[in-house]
Amino acid sequence: MGLLRIMMPPKLQLLAVVAFAVAMLFLENQIQKLEESRSKLERAIARHEVREIEQRHTMDGPRQDATLDEEEDMVIIYNRVPKTASTSFTNIAYDLCAKNKYHVLHINTTKNNPVMSLQDQVRFVKNITAWKEMKPGFYHGHVSYLDFAKFGVKKKPIYINVIRDPIERLVSYYYFLRFGDDYRPGLRRRKQGDKKTFDECVAEGGSDCAPEKLWLQIPFFCGHSSECWNVGSRWAVDQAKYNLINAYFLVGVTEELEDFIMLLEAALPRFFRGATELYRTGKKSHLRKTTEKKLPTKQTIAKLQQSDIWKMENEFYEFALEQFQFIRAHAVREKDGDLYILAQNFFYEKIYPKSN
């Protein structure tokens, strides 16, 4: 092949290069069209599934408000942060939904944009609160926190989430964009073909590994205010902490995911009955693993830890971890290295007036 290229006239060589470039552009275009077609098909299938469920509920007879007790009227929102083991956890919800009789819905935003437009916020709040055919419901998606109280809603959904060590999350996301994972190994990723390691990226000051890319977990908890997405905002950190304490039922950490699932099963069995055992023994535990991931060196970690952005994200992570461990300490006991959920630890007495 090399001899043949040397013997070709320069003009033919140029034509061959141009033809190859055109062919590659054509292939890229075809791949893009296939991806768009796949996305449209997924949306069409989702709409069809929703119509089927609504029709099935209609055939079963209308559901009156009076028939929806507290548990049946429950909605959980898991506004999942990317690369925090969210797929592993969500798969448990999917595996349990038929057995525990609830619906699971993926919130698919355009280009995974975590900030909804004002009109979409209104639509989303109306869907969550009024869509009785989908109750009880478990909604999940890469969407930042939305305060339902702003929209005059009487019954708010239950928010849960999981966060991860900021640098570990960024490293995982960096390699995910280049090599994908074992969940959909054939899918072409945005940075596919870029073989640069995370260490090399940091050493060269690359944009994909810049400290600014760490700023994600704080705005996801902070919400839809403009200041939440102002990188390095102290107000955003404080607001994220406030929401974590006051608006979230439970926030776990990736490093202690099993304990998070155990606590959810104990507190919300309507949804999570059987979740702990499924996580321990099921085939889908830790299903999604980023491929070709190389751990960063101590020098790389130290360089990132010099930034104020890392300090803020790590402060928030440590705050969430402390809160989770506090909740766990008051909910479980340890015996022979295993954790056990505590039984009910309160009762009522001195009840007056006395009945005859």
Classified as helix, coil or strand, 66 is: helix
Classified as helix, coil or strand, 196 is: coil
- Cα separation, 313 vs 219, in Å, equals 10
- Cα separation, 64 vs 137, in Å, equals 17
Q: What are the φ and ψ backbone dihedral angles of 121, each rounded to 5 degrees? A: -60, -45
| Residue 264 contacts residue 146 (beta carbons within 8 Å) | no
Residues in the chain: 356
Task: Show which residues are catalytic.
Answer: 140, 142
Output helix, strand, coil percentages for the chain, rounded to the nearest 5: 55, 10, 35
| Residue 341 contacts residue 261 (beta carbons within 8 Å) | no
Phi-psi region at 336: left, alpha or beta (left = phi > 0; alpha = psi -120 to 50):
left
Helix 257-267 to helix 308-329 angle (10° resolution) is 50
- Cα separation, 105 vs 191, in Å, equals 29
Quickly tell me which residue has 């054939």 as its tokens. 186
Query: Which among 50, 112, 123 has a CA at the least distance from the CA of 81?
Result: 112
CB atoms within 10 A of CB 216: 23
Amino acid at 95: D
Q: What are the φ and ψ backbone dihedral angles of 122, each rounded to 5 degrees? A: -65, -45
Quickly tell me which residue has 């559901």 as its tokens. 63
Query: Which among 256, 247, 232, 208 has a CA at the least distance from the CA of 316?
Result: 232
Torsion of CA 129, 133, 139, 141, to 10 degrees: -100
| Residue 143 contacts residue 107 (beta carbons within 8 Å) | yes
